[in-house]
Structure 1
Amino acid sequence: MLDNMIKCDNVVFKYTGNEVKEERVAIDGVNIEVKKGEFLVILGHNGSGKSTLAKHMNALLLPTEGKVYVDTMDTQQQDLLWEIRSKAGMVFQNPDNQLVATIVEEDVAFGPENLGIPSEEIRKRVDESLQTVNMYDYRRHAPHLLSGGQKQRVAIAGILAMRPQCIILDEPTAMLDPSGRKEVIKTITKLNRDLGITIILITHYMEEAVEADRIIVMDEGKVKLTGTPREVFSKVPEMKSIGLDVPQVTELAYELSKKGINISNDILTISEMVNALCQLR
């Protein structure tokens, strides 16, 4: 388990309503290992359990049954809570819910201040984190004046300033326009590739998942598919049966293949499609 950043060991989570005494199983016997430095994407439609699982990965929720370990620490050990959350930071769907200060640099400093980091080190971390997400020039701006993509990058900088080994992003681009989505995905890809930070991205945008090392597809609280983006997206009928799409070029390749055209069905990008079509001539 030493190389694991996150380990979910037969995790079950049940929601219990206040008015109705019926339990709803949101996660049903999930076993996942996330390696240090990995870029993992978790896909699934609404109600599949993916966001509930994400909240287990930094102890916002605790399993009803089974165990979750963050860098070998059991999330159910209350005395390790601060250490767990400083190792595995969380970025949510709406950046407005994570921005707490009236100036960008003060917002980024908020997490390290709560960890009791000395002032000089905080200053260094704030500057470095804002430079990493290309928001240093906006350090004295008011967050409410920023675009959605810029706000989300400031929220990521706030997590980065706490020096996490892992960042869990729960649909961070869901409320953004296409250019904002591109900004955020470019940022988190850079954090993974350049800094070696473990990334766990929860999304329903198939194009965002293409960059991942590995994809997990969830449905009805269970893991239904797992593999590289090429392996998972080439299973078009299985993805459709779960109610999910695949990248448009992958679907086009699948449909062309069905029509008898000799083309690979694991194409992920437009450039791959262009190359494949050129080779047909």
Structure 2
Amino acid sequence: MEMNQQKPIIEVKGLTFEYRSHDEADLIALKEVTLNVSKGEHLVVIGHNGSGKSTLAKHLNALLLPTAGTVLVAGMDTKKQELLWEIRQTAGMVFQNPDNQIVATIVEEDVAFGPENLGIDPAEIGIRVTNALHRVDMSDYRHKAPHLLSGGQKQRIAIAGVIAMKPACIIFDEPTAMLDPSGRREVVNAIRNLNREEGITVIHITHFMEEAVEAHRVVVMEDGQLVMQGTPREVFARVDELKALGLDVPQMTDLAAELRSEGIDLPEDVLTVEEMVNHLCQLKSKN
């Protein structure tokens, strides 16, 4: 997908953030981070626990405010209190635990909650709820009770609730961390489709490397700083550097590195099972 060359939807300039404490020394969680996110981009941010990635995410819709530097969302400065609602309508957020975002006892009522609080006309809310549930493949569950759903289904309902507010950008803060593999696949597919089919800008914070494979760009964080960025192929080809940071790489990338160390002629940027099979078949046909 070709990125929109207009002004970035998110601009982070020299962002520093300190967690202040009366009893202990201040913790500097972000150190002069600068990052632009283009409209329509699918950006994945990876890093181990404590690297600053979730703190960065919370700055992108003004849940946290910079100690120094600036965060602009569609040109709006997050430090301006009067712009808070408009910023959060532009950049919605989905968190780790879907139970913390579900507020109603019926699925369609939960999805309608955000638009109702925006004062949207009831007829328009009905249309938005229907469209949002369709976009996360949950239309058949609109009259169900959320507590009866699986973790992956609950997270997709949480995503639908954000979609119904029509944001231009959605920030996902480790949305699959509490899900089983099946739930993870459901949510990752929903995120991918929102970006590819709907053109919504996606910023996805994760510690699952496989979830970064289909992104347009991957950013690696360490100790509150951006230490690496590029396409998934460019970033994950740097296996030794990533492992030195305490990070994994996609399983097929790791396997390719092991096989290369055994003298098998494979490229460094293998990302998926399909690519691995193709390369091995090509080697077999040559022999």
Q: TM-score, normalised by structure 2?
A: 0.96
AA matched with 1:121: E
What is aligned with 1:173? 176
Per-residue CA deviations over 1:197-230 (Å, capped at 9, x if unaligned) read: 0000000001111010000000000001100000
Matched, 1:111 2:114: yes
The 2-side partners of 1:246 and 1:18 are apart by: 39
Shift of 1:2: 4.6
CA contact (8 A) 1:2 1:72 kept: no
1:59 corresponding residue in structure 2 = 62
Q: Given the alignment, which residue of 16, 19, 30 partners 2:20?
A: 16
2:164 corresponds to 1:158: no
For 1:121-180, what per-residue CA distance to the aligned partner results, in whole angstroms no more than 9, with x for missing partners? 011101110111111111111111100000000000000000000000000000000000
Q: Give the deviation of 1:18 after TM superposition.
A: 3.7
The structure 1 residue matched to 2:37, chosen from 34, 41, 59, is 34
Contact 1:42 1:217 in 2 (8 A): yes
In 2: Cα distance, 1:129 partner to 1:262 partner = 46
1:214 to 182, 207, 217: 217
Aligned residues: 280
Aligned residue for 1:254, secondary structure, equals helix
Deviation of 1:258 after TM superposition, in Å, equals 2.1
Q: Mean Cα displacement is larger for which, 11-20 or 243-252?
A: 11-20
1:7 is matched by which residue type in structure 2? E
CA–CA distance in structure 2, aligned partners of residues 131 and 271 of structure 1 = 29
Once residues 103 and 4 of structure 1 are traced to their aligned partners in structure 2, the CA distance between those partners, rounded to angstroms, is 37
- Give the conservation status (yes or no) of the 8 Å contact 1:2–1:71: no
Per the alignment, residue 231 of structure 2 pairs with 228
Q: 1:194: which partner in 2?
A: 197
What corresponds to 1:6 in structure 2? 10
In structure 2, the partner of 1:134 is 137
SS at match of 1:4: coil
How large is the RMSD of aligned CA atoms in angstroms?
0.9
Separation in 1 of the partners of 2:130 and 2:255?
45
For structure 2, list consecutive stretches of 5 or more residues without a partner in the other structure: none
Segments ≥4 residues shifted beyond 4 Å = none
Partner Cα separation in structure 2 for residue 3 and residue 274 of structure 1: 40
Tell me by how many angstroms 1:261 deviates.
Answer: 1.8
Judge conservation of contact 2:6–2:39 (CA < 8 Å) in 1: no
Look up the equivalent residue of 1:122 and give its one-letter code.
I
Aligned 8 A contact 2:221 2:227 in 1: yes
